[in-house]
Structure formats: structure tokens, C-alpha cells
Structure 1
């Protein structure tokens, strides 16, 4: 018996077309079929999508770098942050960058109405004050390098705390000990009787321009930015520095004052020289205001003097630290942040305790506790 069956014949036309080279040629030229066109179109769409994604990633990377640079404490990267740009304003409005810390001060409204005292308050205690300018080593002919603060003995230190009508004390700036100013800067600061001083050391930051300064204060005050040679070079490389006819260099309203030959090998200690010894750097100044280089002055300096000195007839005012109420708390903070050698900080605190300086407590009932 024959097991072969005849195949069924379908009346449907075959969906598979046999390849016929002649059907893909026209006039001797090859014509691509429809599927190849679809492939090219899909490839182009994918290329556009990939390019768009890469472009968005680049924009996101730039924004993230901008945010990071604005928060960075490294001077090189913080210089990339333009805090006056629209990008920074947009990021700040979105809460992506940390806003500048601003300290509200209850002051008068109009600096033009402030009455400046015609004469200084009379000295009730010290009538004559002078400073030690020669180091003991230099006097004795030793080969040791003169110290900036001089070699003060314990007895001299104890005597300096006893207020007398005539006094001569150690207060830095001994001869040939460093922190030297250029002659052009010395000549300029002699004319300054009202001073707003600040400082930048070790290229840590760039000058922040004061705001809300009246025209009266612009003419009355000298805005002096004390810098070391590292910061001086960093500022000139990153911001516009203009030069006046007397070769003085300016960044906005700030007059740069260069201190050469720093007396210490640690920038933080050098930064304390203009901060604590402003009266020694600018001896002609009747009134001076110190503001840290990382802060921005947003109140007219005349209003500050009126609020904290002239209104209450005070001669000195100092801001309260927003976190620390005691020098010992400040010392612990410096040790935690490794800002200075811990054994030296402990030694300094030991000296303070030996001399009777107590830690702050509510029992003291001092204004710092309010």
C-alpha cells in the first residue's frame, strides 16, 4: 500500500516573495527596500535621544559642581562660585545652596542723621601709653631672631595687668620681627581716622563687597583688607584689581594692605595680627570695626558705631559668639576641628586656669548668658 499522500494545494498566494534581483534595481542602480529605511529612521531617533541624554547629564554635572564649589572650603574651588550670578540665585531660591549667615542688628534707620562726637572721651586711667619695640635678644646682642611679641617675662606680664597712668607694654611689632607694610600703604592709612578692617590669609577666600553703605560712609571710612602674599597673589588671579594714581590696589571698596614677612609659620596665627592689633596697624584710626574675611558687612558702619559705642558712651564693643560662651568652649572646638596643635591649646588653657579665669556659668549673671 502506498503511504504517500498528495500534498494539499493552497489557493492562497504565498506571503514570501522570492528574491528577484531585477526587482530591486532600477536603471542599473540599487534601490533600498522599506525595511532598510525603517532601520535608518530608528537609528537616527536613537542617536538624537542619546545625544539629548548626554547633554542633560553634562548640564546636571555642571550644576552639581557649581553647588559643590559654593559650599567648598577649598579656596581654589570656591573661586569658581559666582554668588552674584543668576544660577546661584536660582539654586539659592530652590534651597540647593546654603545661604550666607546674616546677623540682624537693631540699628538706626538713616546714617545721615547720625551725630559723630566732636571729641574723644577723656582717658580716665591711662594717660600715657607706649609699646616695647626692641626685643631683649637684639639688645643683648644675641644671634636669635627677634620675636614678634618680644620676650616678655612673667613679671612684665603681671605688671601689664596693673593699670597705671603711664604704661609701656609688649604689643607686637618689635623691630625686624615681621608683618611689614609697604611705604605706600603706611602713607595711605595715616589718613584713615574711621576704619573698617578685614583680612584674608593663605588664599582662603576672596573679598566680599559690603552692601547698604551710604555715600557719607564711603567718604568717611577706609575699607582696608589686610592680606598676606599668598592671598594677594590669589586675589589678583581671580578678581579684578584696579590701581590708583598712588599705586594703591583696590578690589571694589576694599583697599588691599599687604603684610610682608609673616611673623608666624601658621596662617591662623598671622590672621590674628590685624584682628587683635588693629590699633597698631592703623594708629591714626579713632574708630575701627573688624569683620572676618569670610563675612559680608550688610549694615552701614556709621550705624554700628552709633548703636554700640556712641549711644551708650562706650569705648569698646565685641560681638558675642553664636555658639560659645567661654574661651574653654572655643578651645574644645578648635581641638575637635584640629585647627591647632592640641598640646599647645591645652597648655594655653592651663595658663588661663592658673591665672584664675573661670568657665562661664549662669551663676556669673553676665550679659554673655542672655
Structure 2
């Protein structure tokens, strides 16, 4: 009995040791896993913190196409929540008094060039062949002006007759656009009965997008043959003006007054946005209250167009050498980097929301802005501040805080990402040899500039944000 007890004791001790060892091993694995997870979190935190560091060496860690930021963004874990703030809008759309139209003072009559005398092509360029002299003259303000503004005769962007008839009644417009099937219409919310009756909600699409929308959502037809998705009236453009979808999207966005000539007021929102504020409240807040005729938000990250150009190159949103060439032209023409002494809070807008009264001056601004986009790169944020600079104090506009901009809408992702080969080109030779030149837009970048830019150097850019 004693020997069995002794043997049993030894055997029990061995079993207890095995249990202790196993528990220790489990705890060791658990502690190691926790330590490893903490190490990874600390490394990621350090990496993200370094992006905003003032120390050049640290900030450089995340500025060269950071794979960590890219991976985190793809799973939406690194994106900060949009900075939203309350918009000081009126309480009730029904209580708003619509003011009288703003009188035209500086430019009293504006008309448009629709035929270039030297152009014998039966299918001319949508933006025309604006010469460097015509471009320069277009910035010289007179009581009567005639400028290029897209829509050259027989150049495309045609609408169906049923849509042309419908828009003739549209004095107040909420406009948006979808091209190349990148989005589906998102229904606005919080729209008052008064605004539903007052505004035309016009969604401009190409034939590819119309086909995509019909396959992915419900399109209804009215008795006249008009096409509807919820509150949106679909306006189809035929014979697209440009090869590049991004350029086609600038037509309804920037030339809203040309596409819908009867409009007194318009609010443009990009196709990936869902409007969540009543449009009448938007007009009262951003135009009528301060007696403005144009309103746009300040860019979230950038103030200088040269900083924006640098970000576009890093994000490969257009060919680097062509972005540099446009920036060199602007710098040669006197466009200084933004600084706090400028009258504008920024030279770079968040261009996805544009709020306008269609006066002759705001229409002229839109024409000149479009001409820059047509001549150079399709990145319209680069040219906005330049046109403001050239017009001086003539345009009375409001740049409102970015946090208010984020409170106007809910942002949805594109159905797919756009990319074109020219965006990845690193040299002019590469663009030429590979046939990447656009045939209908950006031709000002290939037309001899009336000054020598060979020795021009762009102002240095301090990267204040890891945007993109």
C-alpha cells in the first residue's frame, strides 16, 4: 500500500508538472501574441504619426507611396471620420424669401464664340481652337465680351429633344453627372416639398452610364419619354466631346450655365454624392445671406495650387510632366503660391460642390475656368485659383469651411476606379512614343507657348499633408 501510494505520488507529481508546463506554454503563447500585436500597433502608430511630423526624416517615411497607408486605406481603417460641423442654415425652407437677381455690373453682356474662323473641320473640337492671344484677351474685362466657352457648333454634347424641352422650365437646378459608368444616382434626402417643386434635379449621363444605370436600378419613363431615377431626371449626352471621361464630366460641372441656359441658380454635386441638405437652404446660406454669386469650399488639405499639383503627381492622377508644364505656365504668368496675406482663404477648392447664381460674371468665370481645363490638364482644382487670380476682385465669391462642405452630403464610393495610361507617364517622350496624347483636350500643353519656359523652376513645395 505504501509503495503504491509512493508510486502514485510520483506519478501524480509528473502529471501536475505536465499541467503546469502546458499552462505555462499557453500563457507564453498568449503573452507573445499580445506583445507582437502591441508591437505592430506601435509600429503602425509611429508610421502614421510620422506622416504629420515636422521632422523631415520622419515625414519622409510615409511620403513615398506608403504601402502601409495604401493597405490600411483599402480596408478603410486609416481614414479619419469626415470633419463635419453644423451648417448655420435657416430653420425652414418655407420661410425663405427668394431675393431679386443680382444685377450685372462689370460685364453686362456675355456671348460665346461658336465657330473658329480658321477651323474647316465638319466635326470641330468642343472647346475650339483658342489662341494664346484670345486666351489673354478673355481675362480683360469689358462691358461686352465674347469668349470661347465650349459647345462649338457641331462639336457634340447633344441632348435628346425631349430633354431640351424639359430643361427650358428649369430656373433652379441641382445638377450632377455620371460618365463611363462610375456611379449610380444617389437619392437626395431632407428635401422640402417647396424645393421639390422649385428645383429641377438633373443627372447628366453618357450612353455607357445610362446602360449601366438601367441594369442596376429602376429607370421610369414619363408620358413624354423622359427618363427618371427617383427624383433625378436623367439627361443623356450624345457624341461626347472628349476621349477622357474626366474631361467629359467637366462639361455639366463647369458649364452648367451653357448646358441649362435658362437656369438662374444651380448647385452642382459630384455623382458619388448623396445630398442631405435642402437646396433652398443651401442657396440662402452660401449665396443670398452674404450677397455672393459663387460659393465653393476650401480644400481639406491644400492651399497652394503648387502643393495640389505635387499631390496629383504623387497620386498619379495625371502625367507628371504635363502637370509641371501647366504649373510653370501659371508661375510664369504671376501666380504666386498661396500665403495668408492673400484675400482668398485658399487657392484650391473642394470642387465637388459648386453653388452659383448665373450672372454674367459668374458665367464668364465658369467659361474661363473651363477653357483652362480644356487647354491643359483635366485637374480643375489646379486652374480654379489661377482664374480667380486673373480676374482679381471682379467675382464676388465665398469660400466656406471644409467642415461645412462635409455636412452637405454623404460620400459614396465609385463603382470602380478610373485610370488611364497617361496618368502613369513620367516623361514627355513616353507620352509621345506610346501615343498617349489626348486628341480632343489638353492641346494647349502641346501648342508652342509664347515664352521660354526651359529655365523655369517651380516654387518649392512643403508637403503639409500626406493626402493621397
TM-score by length of 1: 0.69
Shift of 1:239: 0.3
Distance in 2, matches of 1:251 and 1:233, equals: 13
* Runs of at least 5 residues in structure 2 that lack an aligned partner in the other structure: 1-75, 348-400, 402-468
More deviation, 323-332/280-289 = 323-332
Alignment equivalent of 1:109, drawn from 82, 91, 104: 91
Shift of 1:285: 0.2
Question: Which residue in 1 is equivalent to 2:368?
Answer: none
Task: Verify: 1:266 aligned to 2:266, yes or no.
Answer: no
Task: Verify: 1:277 aligned to 2:228, yes or no.
Answer: no
Question: Which residue in 1 is equivalent to 2:315?
Answer: 337
Alignment equivalent of 1:348, drawn from 322, 326, 340: 326
Does 1 or 2 have the higher relative contact order (CA < 8 Å, sep 6+)?
Answer: 2
Alignment equivalent of 1:199, drawn from 168, 172, 177: 177
Distance in 2, matches of 1:268 and 1:288, equals: 21
Task: Verify: 1:121 aligned to 2:99, yes or no.
Answer: no
Distance 1:249 1:103, change over 3 A: farther
**Are the aligned partners of 1:137 and 1:146 in contact in 2 as well (CA < 8 Å)?**
no
Distance 1:174 1:204, change over 3 A: same
Task: Verify: 1:255 aligned to 2:237, yes or no.
Answer: no
Does the residue aligned with 1:236 lie in a helix, a strand or coil? helix
Task: Verify: 1:364 aligned to 2:342, yes or no.
Answer: yes
Does the residue aligned with 1:368 lie in a helix, a strand or coil? coil
TM-score by length of 2: 0.55
Question: Which residue in 2 is equivalent to 1:12?
Answer: none
Q: Which has the larger radius of gyration?
A: 1
**Are the aligned partners of 2:122 and 2:154 in contact in 1 as well (CA < 8 Å)?**
no
Distance 1:260 1:112, change over 3 A: same
Does the residue aligned with 1:319 lie in a helix, a strand or coil? strand
Distance 1:344 1:102, change over 3 A: same
Does the residue aligned with 2:114 lie in a helix, a strand or coil? coil
Distance in 1, matches of 2:156 and 2:138, equals: 23
Question: Which residue in 2 is equivalent to 1:136?
Answer: 117
**Are the aligned partners of 2:175 and 2:204 in contact in 1 as well (CA < 8 Å)?**
yes
Mapping of residues 210-359 of structure 1, within 5 Å: 210-359=188-337
**Are the aligned partners of 2:206 and 2:236 in contact in 1 as well (CA < 8 Å)?**
yes
Shift of 1:101: 4.9
Distance in 1, matches of 2:134 and 2:78, equals: 51
Does the residue aligned with 1:106 lie in a helix, a strand or coil? coil
Shift of 1:226: 0.7
**Are the aligned partners of 2:298 and 2:345 in contact in 1 as well (CA < 8 Å)?**
no
Distance in 2, matches of 1:249 and 1:219, equals: 18
Does the residue aligned with 1:364 lie in a helix, a strand or coil? coil
* Runs of at least 5 residues in structure 1 that lack an aligned partner in the other structure: 1-94
Distance 1:136 1:336, change over 3 A: farther
**Are the aligned partners of 1:135 and 1:147 in contact in 2 as well (CA < 8 Å)?**
no
Does the residue aligned with 1:196 lie in a helix, a strand or coil? strand
More deviation, 192-201/314-323 = 314-323
- Count residues in correspondence: 272
Q: CA offsets, 1:60-108, max 9 Å, x none?
A: xxxxxxxxxxxxxxxxxxxxxxxxxxxxxxxxxxx99989958542211
Distance in 2, matches of 1:261 and 1:298, equals: 33
Q: CA offsets, 1:18-39, max 9 Å, x none?
A: xxxxxxxxxxxxxxxxxxxxxx
